[in-house]
């Protein structure tokens, strides 16, 4: 008969503690997934900041590193190059990067028919009065597309507008000096023209919906990151979903956060946030809208290469998994 050596109480306790540590170690050792998120300098990105401030990333086991970029094209470049893992922007900024095959479209986070507005001199009272005039545009952005949509609406050639390219801050003084008679741009730069020039000299003449444009603000990820860390993509989307829900139920707090992160007063941030309908999903007109914008970009030699296969580029599987997380 085998006789076991005597083990004192202290050794039994030590063994029990060690066993407990080994049992929980696999879970305790799991570090949060680090996700680099690219955002712009605009309150539309408020849900990304809410998710950080209210702990939604941590809730799903994500450590978010948020970087602000000057605009959508810069965010697209960063995601495409793998310098950011996930980013969001208007579709027109992302398509020239998506065509290179390095990005996957995950969802729409917001839509708006009037996010972009046209500031014009008060002497311009109808859209047809803009034909043949100098107008402002931000080259490489959706504003170029809007001017061509207006040309189609008026049934005139796209060359009917003498488009002057400049940055958003330059548009305001250019209109004030009458160097241009109008410009399309996103807020707050349209309303800023009225603040600078006065209501008697400048007014808002139209918005993007008036030229039949629906802005789809899409979320995209780097292909390699999605392949390497699909769960991190899913958890980041779940955090964004919770943040959007919070924003809807706490508009004042959302305006505070959006204002602080973009150096705006809460009321100014609120005005911009209210231009959008926030919902994490796949907007019904997203794919048709993406295809129409791609066709326009190709017609203007801004996109080359093989046509984008949107049935593969839009991958809803990550979103479906995220919406199932609680």
Residue 254's pLDDT is 98
Rounded Cα distance, 280 and 88, in Å: 12
Please give the pLDDT value at position 9: 53
- Tokens standing for residue 55: 């702990």
Per-block mean pLDDT, blocks of 10 residues, the chain (326 long): 48 49 45 95 96 98 96 92 96 90 96 94 98 91 91 96 94 98 93 96 96 94 98 98 98 98 95 96 91 92 91 96 95
What are the φ/ψ torsions at residue 222 (nearest 5 degrees)? -70, 135
Record: fold of 33-112+215-324: D-Maltodextrin-Binding Protein; domain 2 (3.40.190)
CA distance 73 to 89: 8
Q: What is the pLDDT of residue 26?
A: 42
CA atoms within 13 Å, Cβ hemisphere of 195: 8
Q: What is the pLDDT of residue 2?
A: 42
How confident is the model at residue 5, as a pLDDT?
Answer: 47
Helices (H), the chain: 9-28, 46-53, 56-59, 72-81, 91-98, 142-154, 168-176, 189-197, 223-228, 230-249, 251-262, 266-273, 286-299, 310-313, 317-324
Cis peptide before 42 (omega within 30 of 0): no
* pLDDT given at position 89: 93
The pTM of the full predicted model, rounded to 2 decimals, is 0.83
Output the pLDDT for position 255: 98
Q: How far is it between the farthest Cα atoms of the chain?
A: 108
Q: Residue 8: its pLDDT value, please?
A: 53
Q: Does domain 116-211 have CATH number 3.40.190.10?
A: yes
Structural domain boundaries in the chain: 33-112+215-324, 116-211
Pairing of strands 277-281, 103-112: antiparallel
State the CB neighbour count (10 A cutoff) for residue 233.
29
- Within 10 angstroms of residue 156's Cβ, the number of other Cβ atoms is 15
Residue whose structure tokens are 């028919």:
113
Q: Let me know if the fold of 33-112+215-324 is the same as that of 116-211.
A: yes
Residue 1 has what pLDDT? 43
What's the pLDDT score for residue 141? 78
Residue 51: the pLDDT is 98
- pLDDT at res. 252: 98
Beta pairing, strands 215-222 & 162-165 = unpaired
Spatial CB neighbours of 320, under 8 Å, sequence gap ≥ 6: none
| CA 145 remoteness from chain centre | 18
């Amino acid at each position: 008969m085998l006789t076991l050596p005597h083990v004192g109480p202290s050794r039994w306790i030590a063994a029990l503690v060690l066993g407990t540590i080994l049992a929980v170690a696999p879970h305790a050792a799991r570090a949060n997934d680090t996700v680099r998120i690219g955002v712009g300098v605009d309150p539309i990105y408020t849900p990304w900041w809410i998710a950080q401030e209210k702990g939604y990333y941590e809730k799903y086991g994500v450590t978010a590193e948020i970087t602000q970029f000057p605009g959508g094209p810069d965010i697209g470049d960063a995601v495409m190059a793998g310098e950011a893992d996930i980013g969001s922007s208007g579709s027109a900024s992302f398509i020239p990067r998506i065509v290179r095959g390095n990005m996957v479209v995950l969802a729409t986070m917001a839509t708006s028919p009037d996010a972009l507005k046209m500031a014009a001199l008060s002497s311009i009272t109808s859209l047809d009065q803009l034909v043949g005039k100098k107008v402002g545009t931000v080259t490489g952005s959706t504003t170029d597309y809007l001017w061509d949509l207006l040309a189609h609406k008026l049934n005139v050639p796209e060359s009917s507008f003498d488009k002057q390219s400049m940055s958003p801050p330059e548009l305001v003084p250019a209109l004030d000096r009458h160097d241009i008679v109008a410009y399309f741009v996103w807020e707050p730069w349209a309303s800023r023209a009225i603040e600078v020039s006065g209501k008697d000299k400048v007014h808002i003449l139209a918005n993007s919906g008036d030229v039949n444009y629906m802005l789809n603000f899409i979320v995209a990820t780097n292909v390699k990151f999605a392949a390497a860390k699909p769960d991190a993509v899913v958890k980041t989307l779940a955090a964004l979903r919770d943040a959007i829900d919070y924003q809807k139920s706490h508009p004042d707090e959302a305006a505070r956060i959006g204002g602080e992160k973009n150096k705006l007063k809460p009321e100014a941030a609120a005005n911009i946030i209210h231009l959008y309908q926030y919902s994490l999903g796949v907007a019904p007109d997203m794919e048709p809208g993406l295809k129409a914008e791609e066709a326009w970009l190709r017609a203007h030699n801004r996109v080359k290469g093989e046509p984008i296969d949107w049935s593969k580029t839009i991958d809803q599987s990550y979103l479906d998994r995220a919406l199932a997380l609680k």
